[in-house]
Amino acid sequence: MSALQKVVSNVSSFVPASPADAVAHFSRLLSLETDCWDVHEAMEGEKADFVLLDVRGPQSYAAGHVPGAVNLPHGRITARNVASYSEDTLFVVYCNGPQCNGADRAALNLAKLGRRVKKMIGGIEGWKDEGFKLTENAPLKMVTTENENSSASL
């Protein structure tokens, strides 16, 4: 190889974004997503300024969910089912993990209702990968169609 030829990897084969473009991109990304670590820290420190929604089905929720999460399957997110929460409530949604688009569907549904929302990236699998414990075999805490949080055993 001649001294004038430069080896280019797949990483640098596209010109990197300018710092200003990177700031805009990553700021936007962080406005839409949060991670398991930040959710855990807020929940453990009783600093949760959001409602954590497990958007999987009731059986999956009962088998293991993030402590403090409320179950509202993504297909049941309606204006009626979130009406008991103030309009400025921030919802954080999660599903099984990267292979699941339930959290994306839930976030879209909430945004269409004019609600503030972030997705917890990684979902249950990310939570477990961080070494955090799940609540298992607990009474179901879900949003009901009567707009109330309730407990029901499965």
Q: Between residues 146 and 103, which one has the greater pLDDT?
A: 103
Q: pTM of the predicted model, to two decimals?
A: 0.84
9-13, 67-71, 87-91: lowest mean pLDDT where? Answer: 9-13
CA distance 81 to 27: 30
Domains and CATH numbers, the chain: 34-152 (3.40.250.10)
Mean pLDDT along residues 7-34: 94
pLDDT in tens, 41-88: 999 988 899 999 999 999 999 999 999 999 999 999 999 999 999 999
Residue 40: pLDDT band with limits 50, 70, 90: very high
User: Which pLDDT belongs to residue 7?
Assistant: 83
Q: Is the pLDDT of residue 27 over 90?
A: yes
The set of catalytic residues is: 95
pLDDT in tens, 112-147: 999 999 999 999 999 999 999 999 876 666 666 544
User: Which pLDDT belongs to residue 35?
Assistant: 97
Q: Is the pLDDT of residue 19 over 80?
A: yes
Query: Phi, psi (5° rounding) for residue 96?
Result: -70, -45
CA distance 103 to 60: 14
Cβ count near 71 (within 10 Å)? 21
DSSP state of 18: P
User: Which pLDDT belongs to residue 151?
Assistant: 40
